[in-house]
Amino acid sequence: LIGSVAGAQVQDMPGGPKVNQLNLHEGVTAISRDIMWLHWLLLTICIVIFIGVFGVMFYSIWAHRKSRGHKAATFHEHLGVEVAWTVIPFIIVIAMALPATKTVVAMKDTSSADLTIKVTGYQWKWGYEYLDGSAAGVKFLSTLATPRAQIENREPKGQFYLMEVDNHMVVPVDKKVRVVLTAADVIHSWMIPDFGVKQDAIPGFLRDAWFRADTPGIYRGQCAELCGKDHAFMPIVVEVLAQADYDKWVEDQKKKMAANADDPNKEWTEAELVARGEKVFAANCVACHQANGKGIPGSFPPLDGDKVVLGPQAAQINTVLKGKPGTAMAAFGGQLNDVEIAAVISYTRHAWSNAGKGQDPTVL
Ligand code: CUA
């Protein structure tokens, strides 16, 4: 419908909402199907009550439309009526509460999981860290990868848009996956409709949720708690793989991490550190500060003042480690390792002293 109104070809997106979908996703977990079933149960009961109540009301208005001026009947107590309007709603409430409670209890039962993954919300990306099982130690950030201009200039406007991320969460099929959620700055919410999971990620707290996806595929969600400027650009992508494919992914991740790991005993040359820092900057800083360090006019100022001039090195290290209170600058102390922090500071000072705008070119 949306497609034909807009006169454009619109297709269902793999793992995304159907173009004409108005209802919930049925999903790929027992919980998401339970939620769908509960939704139909409650909707049906409510429609029946609605028709009953409004039917009597409209019937009365119509049947007695000529009864103007009649005296209202006055009577006290009618045991039958009182019993009926107490017992019937009681039965209805129980009929709704029993299955709903059962599902809520099942949703909260995160015991005996096959795999635990820590999920951290950042402004504005997700961090995933595999805590146990064969993937223990695998960790990465998951950031919007679709160019913003492509999203903002999409046609037709208002259509659901598939946003990709650089690294997505990968889990094995038919395994109970427990996600432990927290946040580094403000409250975010990790939501995958197809899993029946939506859990707030709250700074300073750990909350957990679980899912057992029974169909391989790519499933999508979105940060579901207003968390600032780029709240709409925190997509969540989870790929469910057959066990053998998952094992291969774990192996690849471990190889990739080993290849990228920083040897703590390595003596870095200035050029190596700057090159490394450029990558760290591109992965963590450009979203707000832009590649040229000049920020986004109106939203984020340049790194310092109205041109890119970096303050004393010690102050800069402090800002990177702890963030800047009262601004969107988050603390990166927990996100970047020591080499990455040294690298990104070296890179920024190098980049902007080379541009003739920085100061203290001897900091390297
Ligand atoms: Cu994170 Cu909204």
For residue 227, the CA-to-ligand 1 centroid distance in Å is 4
Q: Which of 193, 263, 186, 190 is nearest to 223 (CA)?
A: 190
**Per-residue model confidence (pLDDT) at position 301:** 61
Please give the chain's pLDDT, 364 residues, in tens.
333 333 333 445 555 555 556 778 788 999 999 999 999 999 999 999 999 999 999 999 998 888 777 787 888 888 999 999 999 999 999 999 999 999 999 999 999 999 999 999 998 899 999 999 899 889 888 999 888 888 877 776 666 667 889 899 999 999 999 999 999 889 999 999 899 999 999 999 999 999 999 999 999 899 999 999 889 899 999 999 999 999 999 999 988 888 777 776 778 888 888 888 888 888 888 877 777 777 776 666 665 555 666 777 788 888 888 888 777 777 887 778 888 888 888 888 888 765 554 444 443 3
pTM: 0.72
- Residues in contact with ligand 1 by the CB-under-6-Å rule are 121, 124, 188, 223, 225-227, 231, 234
Q: What is the ipTM of this complex?
A: 0.98
Q: 78: alpha, beta or left, given left = phi > 0 and alpha = psi -120 to 50?
A: beta
For residue 222, the CA-to-ligand 1 centroid distance in Å is 8
Q: Whose CA is nearest to atom 1 of ligand 1?
A: 188
**Beta carbons within 8 Å of 190's beta carbon, 6+ residues apart:** 119, 121, 126, 179, 181, 197, 198, 199, 201, 209, 221, 223, 224, 236
For residue 68, the CA-to-ligand 1 centroid distance in Å is 58
For residue 261, the CA-to-ligand 1 centroid distance in Å is 29
**Per-residue model confidence (pLDDT) at position 104:** 95
Q: Which of 249, 214, 226, 25 is nearest to 128 (CA)?
A: 249
**Per-residue model confidence (pLDDT) at position 4:** 33
